[in-house]
Structure 1
Amino acid sequence: MPFKRYVEIGRVAIINYGPEVGKLVVISDVVDQNRALVDAPGFTRRVETFKRLTLTDFKLDIPRLAAKKVVNEKWAADDINGKFDATAWGKKLKARADKAAQSDFDRYKAAVAKSKKGRLIRAAVNKLKK
């Protein structure tokens, strides 16, 4: 099975480690075999190691070392945030963030709902067994 996501200029990636976990960035330049210069709207351009980046399916059509203004325009024109949020990966990250932001009472309500659902399923399965 061939690779579909290559490290290339304009490839959108997610930071998977550090204080900005989950932040979408675009590869602006490849520094060496281990590092890339990354940039995004509302993000300070800096060098990140590939170990801290996870490549996505999205790619911006930008030149090497594109200016911040060009990156911002292409990002907005391609609606990268909206496209990523619509993917299963984006939905999973959103659900994880929502669950982490729950209060104690929200967690209690979820546990009660899960318990009720389990009881209903168990009753339906036992009914079918008879």
Structure 2
Amino acid sequence: MTAFKRFVEVGRVVLLSNGRKAGRIAVIVDIVDHHRVIVEGPTTGVHRHVASLSQVTLTDISIKDLPRTIGTAALKKAIVKSGVVESWKKTSWAKKLEVRRIRANLTDYDRFKVMRLKKQKRFIVDRQLAAVRKTQSA
């Protein structure tokens, strides 16, 4: 049994972590050498380019039996058929990134509203907790 679950392989879905396309997912189309791969994401707006492995993060999602240097149209069909984007959006990793993106784009008034909602939630939870403790001690 191996300790690693995510291998650099053709068909592996990666998350781009640097550059203008950071935060988008792409698929490894070919392996150049030990440090670089060719990635493309026709459904996510990532053009085909050579990316360093230090600039991408491997995900658990992969497309099985994807041939090396597959064309853009065939890759797009394979991505849609295997449901890569939908399965990515279901992961907790993608959800955390989306929350982080939304939080970064809040205005002052939006942050104020979030603060007020958190206070209301805390007040309700504390009140219910006190009621439960009171019934247990009685």
Decide: shared fold, TM above 0.5: yes
Residue 113 (structure 1) aligns with: 117
Query: Does residue 95 of structure 2 align to residue 91 of structure 1?
Result: yes
Tell me the secondary structure at the aligned position of residue 47 of structure 1.
Answer: strand
Tell me the secondary structure at the aligned position of residue 101 of structure 2.
Answer: helix
- Between the aligned partners of 2:95 and 2:54, the Cα distance in structure 1 is 23
**Paired amino acid for 2:10:** I
Whether the 8 Å contact between 2:14 and 2:26 is mirrored in structure 1 is yes
- The offset of 1:123, in angstroms, is 4.5
Decide which moves more: 25-34 or 96-105.
96-105
- Between the aligned partners of 1:77 and 1:104, the Cα distance in structure 2 is 42
Tell me the secondary structure at the aligned position of residue 45 of structure 1.
Answer: strand
Task: Tell me the percent identity.
Answer: 32
TM-score, length of structure 2 as denominator length:
0.84
Task: Note the residue ranges of structure 1 that are not aligned, 5 or more in a row.
Answer: none
Length, aligned pairs only? 130
Whether the 8 Å contact between 1:36 and 1:50 is mirrored in structure 2 is yes
Residue 14 (structure 2) aligns with: 13
Root mean square deviation of aligned Cα: 1.8
Query: Does residue 54 of structure 2 align to residue 51 of structure 1?
Result: yes
Higher-Rg structure is 2
| Aligned partner (choices 66, 69, 81) of residue 77 of structure 1 | 81
Task: Note the residue ranges of structure 2 that are not aligned, 5 or more in a row.
Answer: none
- Between the aligned partners of 2:18 and 2:119, the Cα distance in structure 1 is 34
- Between the aligned partners of 2:38 and 2:108, the Cα distance in structure 1 is 41
Tell me the secondary structure at the aligned position of residue 33 of structure 1.
Answer: coil
TM-score, length of structure 1 as denominator length:
0.89
Whether the 8 Å contact between 1:14 and 1:24 is mirrored in structure 2 is yes
